Amino acid sequence: MKKWKFILGVDVSKLTLDVHCSELNLHIKIENGTKGFALLKNGAKTTGFFYRKV
């Protein structure tokens, strides 16, 4: 079974995404659109939390 290093909570609204990671004590608010998703993806690469394309 895979052990996760980080758990992300994402609150989705029409205009924004509120992303919280308690392990990193991180909370960001980003645009709910292409630019916001790109920012989230780049953040995943730099901080090392896992993401995958669906």
pLDDT of residue 13: 95
What is the bridge-based pairing of β-strands 8-12 and 26-31? unpaired
- The one-letter amino acid at 14: K
Return the DSSP state at 24. T
Whole-number Cα distances in Å, 30 to 4, 5, 8, 11, 17? 23, 22, 14, 11, 5
Taking only the tens place, the pLDDT of each residue in 8-49 is: 888 999 999 998 888 878 888 989 999 988 888 887 777 666
Domain boundaries defined on the chain: 8-47
